[in-house]
Homo-oligomer: A and B are copies of this chain.
Amino acid sequence: MKARIIVTLKSGVLDPQGKAIQGALGALGFSGVGGVRQGKVFDVDLDTEDRAAAEADLRAMCDKLLANTVIENYTVEIF
């Protein structure tokens, strides 16, 4: 079973990396970029066919390792 986890910074948390990318895009001639926020994506292969168990496991993985829930949100999508 394949899953995709997307981890993004919560709104209000400063994102200097995103700001740097926004500046670089401006320098490359892309006008009209109002903001950039960078996050992480994890594509996970799971050896189970139980969707509910897989989702519970994936959320536990996020809480324990993949996301810092103080400053980050995550979404879990199972294919």
Contacts and interface: CB of A to CB of B under 8 A. Distances in A.
Interface of A: 6, 8, 18, 21, 24-25, 28, 30, 32-48, 57, 60-61, 64-66
A47 B34 contact: yes
Contacts of A43: 8, 36-39
Nearest to A47: B32
Copies per assembly: 2
Contacts of A21: 42, 65-66
Contacts of A48: 32
A23 to B, nearest CB: 11
Nearest to A66: B21
Contact of A39 (B37, B41, B46): B41
